[in-house]
A and B are shown apart, each in its own frame.
Chain A
């Protein structure tokens, strides 16, 4: 009996039975077959050596980004508004993943409340705009710096902690921010949210139209990649990596580890502030619902999925986790299930993420 419970058949049966009340018998049977096949094949697939993508060796390192940028620049001419909308969200999530990657991927400091800084960015613009009438452009740096400052404020007490404790404190911070936004009715309008936020204008010309907004987000993402890559390959980036790899050795090699962890917090949350502002200006509406714990988990999944510590990995992770659910929209109930399954399978076969941290750094 015990043997049976551990067999693939039992696991597949469990998954199918749990799923039965949600859907009909046919789908449960399909699920059973898929899970069974997956689990049975696992030991064999695991034996296959999945080759690393040798970016540098194949000369792809310059070519791939250029190709990607060209394709994305041309997309608005080919796509319907609905897809542009999805792509804009992809850009915003890419910024979030890039920012979180600085903290988790480069510096190795787990953070489970990143959505809080996204929220702070979004609400800063929302409030500056609706209460003081401040436009998008002056608000953008203010919101980014304010998010960054909040990162520092959280960082000072949090960085005395390590591992699990740090994770719990950041999680708590995320919840506190959301709860404050939800309950401070007079200031944030609570759960009703803030409506009537203006889109950005350039010389009186609105960028609210999807095509224009797409290009705005697109430019910001490219700027973020440029800046983050450059910091990554500087003494700051090396210090962050050193802290992640061996904090004691880093400190004896002259790195002020507390200061550099704080820089990572401030720099990572800066991009969350920018993402928040872009989100508020796109939706022209913000409410606490958009910044739940699940949002933090989603951003963290993007960083891990693409390859922790890899800038392009974060973008790929954001792409997959934003686009996949949309592509699977017709599958309704299945989509979260399939996504979850994919993530589990990935973590078994490629714990370093799709791209992995090493490939891109091979030529450093």
Chain B
């Protein structure tokens, strides 16, 4: 059984064909990378998977349930969380609060118990905070827990995005260029973190530009170009695929 099944997904923005008839399946507890040149439609695919963009055509099935057409918050409840290429933190909230927000749908108390500050409310808030702290620790940014998110360095903001997505306790986590703008040592730390995430039993889809990184970490790779899937397979298969070489290096290099 596959965790995620993307069938013939197409997304048009007016005349722009951002994604055209893309299909692939994802096995549980794997790391799958989506690569492709700028404007290939990678982020748009994530937007379709997380309910931020409606699909023009095609279907998305997650754990045997159709999720295309669901609003974003329902998709998170179904078990898919994501990070953003252009960082989208709650910038004036502290780092730990950012992570606490992600546990929203797991918190069960209602309005009245919050107003009355019942024992159940206090217990739940304490647990939420503790759990948030654990995810900050996992991402290696627990020492910044009480600082406003926008005061963190660029690299740490990206890690906070990962901690926040993890705190939603998803089955599938989508990382959109999590190492963009990082130096090599920060990058390798994030790669270690991604492997840890898989060890926790989660499935990862990763958008990444650095080919070396992608080859090292991925179980499978999907290659998009101009919205079309041009190749899919293990790193070795993709590396030697003439279509991929052509898309990345131009026609001459393929011969």
Interface residues of A (CB under 8 A from B): 227, 230-231, 233-236, 238-239, 241-242, 245-246, 248-257, 263, 357-358, 361-362, 364
A sample of 22 cross-chain residue pairs with beta-carbon separation below 8 angstroms, ordered by A number, consists of A231-B114, A238-B101, A239-B104, A241-B97, A241-B101, A242-B90, A242-B93, A242-B101, A245-B91, A245-B92, A246-B88, A246-B89, A249-B84, A251-B51, A251-B71, A251-B73, A252-B52, A253-B81, A254-B102, A256-B73, A358-B92, A362-B146
Q: Which residue of B lies closest to A227 (CB)?
A: B115
A231 to B9, CA, bound (A): 42
B197 cross-chain contacts in A, Cβ below 8 A: none
A357 to B111, CA, bound (A): 23
Interface contact A252-B104, CB-CB below 8 Å: no
Q: Which of B73, B75, B107, B168 contacts A235 (CB 8 A)?
A: B107
Please give the distance in Å from A235's CB to the nearest CB on chain B.
5
Q: Which of B77, B89, B125 contacts A254 (CB 8 A)?
A: B77
A241 cross-chain contacts in B, Cβ below 8 A: 90, 92-93, 97, 101
Is residue B55 contacting chain A, with contact meaning CB distance below 8 A? no
Please give the distance in Å from A250's CB to the nearest CB on chain B.
7
A245 to B101, CA, bound (A): 12
Please give the distance in Å from B183's CB to the nearest CB on chain A.
25
Interface residues of B (CB under 8 A from A): 50-52, 71-73, 75-77, 81-82, 84, 88-94, 97, 100-102, 104-105, 107, 109, 111, 114-117, 121, 125, 128, 146, 148, 164, 168
A253 to B97, CA, bound (A): 12
Interface contact A235-B90, CB-CB below 8 Å: no
A235 cross-chain contacts in B, Cβ below 8 A: 104, 107, 109, 114, 128
Interface contact B164-A253, CB-CB below 8 Å: yes
Please give the distance in Å from A208's CB to the nearest CB on chain B.
30
Q: Which residue of A lies closest to B76 (CB)?
A: A254
A252 to B85, CA, bound (A): 14
A251 cross-chain contacts in B, Cβ below 8 A: 51-52, 71-73
Q: Which of A236, A246, A253, A256 counts the most chain B CB atoms within 10 A?
A: A253
A249 cross-chain contacts in B, Cβ below 8 A: 84, 88-90
A242 cross-chain contacts in B, Cβ below 8 A: 90, 93, 101
Interface contact B76-A252, CB-CB below 8 Å: yes
Q: Which residue of B lies closest to A259 (CB)?
A: B73
Interface contact A236-B52, CB-CB below 8 Å: no
A245 cross-chain contacts in B, Cβ below 8 A: 89-93
Q: Which residue of A lies closest to B124 (CB)?
A: A235
A20 to B77, CA, bound (A): 65
B50 cross-chain contacts in A, Cβ below 8 A: 252
Q: Which residue of A lies closest to B174 (CB)?
A: A252
A239 to B105, CA, bound (A): 10
Q: Which residue of B lies closest to A245 (CB)?
A: B90
Interface contact B81-A252, CB-CB below 8 Å: yes
Interface contact A230-B100, CB-CB below 8 Å: no
A252 to B94, CA, bound (A): 19
Q: Which residue of B lies closest to A239 (CB)?
A: B104
A230 to B111, CA, bound (A): 10
Q: A235-B109, A248-B52, A257-B73 are in contact. Are A364 and B117 (CB under 8 A)?
A: no
Interface contact B90-A230, CB-CB below 8 Å: no
A256 cross-chain contacts in B, Cβ below 8 A: 71, 73
Q: Which residue of B lies closest to A241 (CB)?
A: B93
Q: Which of B102, B109, B116 contacts A253 (CB 8 A)?
A: B102
Q: Which residue of B lies closest to A232 (CB)?
A: B114
Interface contact B114-A230, CB-CB below 8 Å: yes
Q: Which of A231, A248, A253 contacts B104 (CB 8 A)?
A: A253
Interface contact B104-A255, CB-CB below 8 Å: yes
Interface contact B114-A236, CB-CB below 8 Å: yes
Q: Which of B88, B111, B121 contacts A248 (CB 8 A)?
A: B88
Q: Which residue of A lies closest to B149 (CB)?
A: A245
Q: Which residue of A lies closest to B104 (CB)?
A: A254
A250 cross-chain contacts in B, Cβ below 8 A: 90, 101
A248 cross-chain contacts in B, Cβ below 8 A: 52, 72, 88
Q: Which residue of A lies closest to B150 (CB)?
A: A245
Q: Which of B84, B93, B104, B121 counts the most chain A CB atoms within 10 A?
A: B104
Q: A227-B115, A230-B115, A364-B97 are in contact. Are A254 and B91 (CB under 8 A)?
A: no
